[in-house]
Chain A
Amino acid sequence: MDALRKLEILADAAKYDVSCSSSGSNRQNKKGGLGNASAAGICHSWTDDGRCISLLKILMSNSCIYDCAYCVNRSSNDLPRATFTPEEVADITINFYKRNYIEGLFLSSAVVKSPDHTMEQFIEILKKLRDVENFNGYIHLKAIPGADKKLLDKAGSYADRMSVNIELPTEDGLRMLAPQKKQNEILGPMNDIKQGMLQSIEERKIFRNSPKFVPAGQTTQLIVGATKDSDYRILKLSEGLYNDFQLKRVYYSAFVPVSTNPLLPRISSPPLVRENRLYQADWLLRFYGFNSDELLSEDKPDFDLLLDPKCDWALRNIDKFPIEINRAEYHMLLRVPGIGVKSAQRIVSSRRFCQLDFDDLKKLGVVLKRAKYFITCKGIHSGIKSMEPVNIRANILGDSSKKDPRQLSLFDLEGGMGNDLKIELPV
């Protein structure tokens, strides 16, 4: 089989992994080398589904020894199989990079023969790229659960980012759909990667040249909608991963039905709105100072599909509003629907020069359509008379009824220039 055919098969197999970011690492080029990594990340193209293409995202192989129900590569599925040689992966990466098609490589794989064997093949590829070709572009590697820790360490010293996909948010889900995977086999490597990163940071305080370990941090992916897990359980898990495992990002992937296994839910299209709500809530956790218990609870376990999580929170806490734009503290500004991190910062710096009015807010990028119910400007409120949540809610939904909630949008200006999954920020 030629490399072109393999590429078709192994790109197809990798496309359901939604992580596409090339950010967070600023690996410099060395003399005579090729490539560097840009901390802000760079998108090189966009697919027809609107996702950014930044890395050559492929599987090394789709020949898997496991048979997970949700996965297109499960061993019982009848589909063409292919495996790249290390030379092929290195050659395509280098030549795509020189033509500026990509920022680097995102390498994943089905589990070939054994977790250790697969990991060893990965290391072969990374050695070829880094040591032989002198390649300093971005490399994101999938850690294979169950592989030996020594192999994980070795791989981590070559990669910019590593990730272990959790896929299913609860042990129950795993037991049902991926009985050969164990939760501790996933969390184990995650913890090892975290320890490796911490250790490398400590060592670099003493020896400036000691090698970096996964400098862009680790990420994971959760599939949404393949099991009955609520948004609350998923968000709780993410919060734990950020706090306890210091993950850089958690990606959420709406379940795309790729098989007709009776254990899987029958749906006609992926739950994209739910995926979007989770991303918005995730943003609120990481940049807006919210915690998961403020957003959801056992009594209210799922997000409102019509209203973004921040609006929803504000309506449930209407007693805290309206706030005066010219006096409110930064952390309260962040909690106003229609005000994002960037506009909150701009409000704080601009109001040093003069008192702001509604016109000024518009110029600073505040979405007044939503914010007006929750703020006053120089004492003036321009929302509706009633501060009753039901009335405000009706007005907000009336304003946005024309908008298709499926349209995920907005440039990710907060985390660098458009380097990541494009989602609607919870402004």
Chain B
Amino acid sequence: MISKLSYLYDGSFEGLLTAVWEAYYAKEDPSEIIWEGVSHPNLLSSTKMIYTDANKADRVYRAVEEKISHAALRRIFYIYLSGEPESGIIVLNYLRIGFRLGAAVDDYHAEPTVLKSEKLYNKVAMEKHRQAGLIRFKRLESGVFYSKIDPDHNVIALLAPHFAARMPSEYWILHDAGRGIAVFYDKNDWVVRNLETPEDIVLKEEEETYQEMWKAYYRHLSIESRKNMSLKKRMMPVRYWKNLIEEGIELWS
């Protein structure tokens, strides 16, 4: 009987890169690389723990950049951020082809693994792009701009540079409530820290004025005779609406 080999890692990007190193140097062919927190032991598979090693991770990181391309590095990072269960094994298989073909790997669109990697990369890139527009900041009593979001993928760290360039002179917080993490910006740098949903938050008085204005503006912009809700829902999926002020959410929720 053929037994499957599963790699378990700690869920960090370095951990995933260490797993890639391990597969190469142990000459193993794991069928999955998953985060130990979500693994379900299976009688038919044997598991191997991967212990994150900054040195090994760094060597893989540099090898990808030098032997494939910077774009490939970005691609595997985005795939990792997707959080999908198959992301680990896609990264490994994609890199195997990449080390063979070099920078040309991303042109090989018809190759199944390359295609999968491209699809997953695009999903994350798409969400990053959408969130850049769909985030709504609310001004708190303290002057801080706060935003709660629930993205499908782990994109807040990708969004942080965007807002740091836009609003360098404000304090702001980007809160991924589902994952319990947030980006904090202090007018100089941003960091990612754990953050549970705060309970005692007070809005600045002006906040109500601008939210009302935004809702009014939004209402008055649609052209009744062109109404097309299915088009709207295709462009802006309903799952994102819960954090949108213009879709009628309460002033604070």
Binding site for B on A (CB under 8 A): 3-4, 7-8, 11-12, 15-16, 28-29, 31-36, 38, 40, 42-50, 52-54, 56-58, 92, 95-96, 98-101, 103, 254, 256, 269-270, 272, 346, 349-350, 352-354, 356, 360, 363-364, 406-409, 411, 417-418, 422
Contacts and interface: CB of A to CB of B under 8 A. Distances in A.
B149 to A, nearest CB: 11
24 contacts: A4-B212, A7-B217, A11-B220, A43-B133, A46-B235, A48-B232, A49-B232, A53-B218, A98-B145, A101-B214, A103-B133, A256-B226, A272-B226, A350-B109, A353-B107, A353-B110, A353-B111, A356-B110, A364-B109, A407-B230, A409-B231, A417-B126, A418-B129, A422-B235
B158 interface: no
Contacts of A354: 110
Given A34-B166, A48-B229, A100-B136, 4 more contacts: A8-B216, A49-B228, A256-B223, A417-B129
Interface stretch (B10-18, B43-51, B81-89, B167-175): B167-175
Contacts of B216: 4, 7-8, 11
A45 B218 contact: yes
A81 to B, nearest CB: 15
A409 B110 contact: no
A254 B223 CA distance: 12
A92 B228 CA distance: 28
B108 A3 contact: no
B145 A47 contact: no
Interface string B197-230: 0000000001001101110111111110111111
A36 B165 CA distance: 7
B139 interface: yes
* Chain B interface category by residue count: 35 or more
Contacts of A52: 235
Contacts of B225: 256, 269-270
B218 A50 contact: no
B226 A95 contact: no
A29 B221 contact: no
B166 A47 contact: no
Given A42-B133, A95-B210, A99-B210, A408 B218 contact: no
Interface of B: 104, 107-111, 115, 126, 129, 132-139, 145, 147, 163, 165-170, 206, 209-210, 212-214, 216-223, 225-232, 234-236, 244-246
Contact of A406 (B104, B126, B228, B246): B228
A408 B221 CA distance: 19
B133 A349 contact: no
A349 B107 contact: yes
A31 B212 CA distance: 31
A48 B227 contact: yes
A34 B214 CA distance: 19
A165 B150 CA distance: 40
B45 to A, nearest CB: 30
Contact of A15 (B165, B220, B228, B231): B220
A408 to B, nearest CB: 6
Q: By CB atoms of chain A within 10 A, which of B104, B107, B147, B166 has the most?
A: B166
A363 B218 contact: no
A98 B134 CA distance: 13
B220 A16 contact: no
Contacts of B230: 407
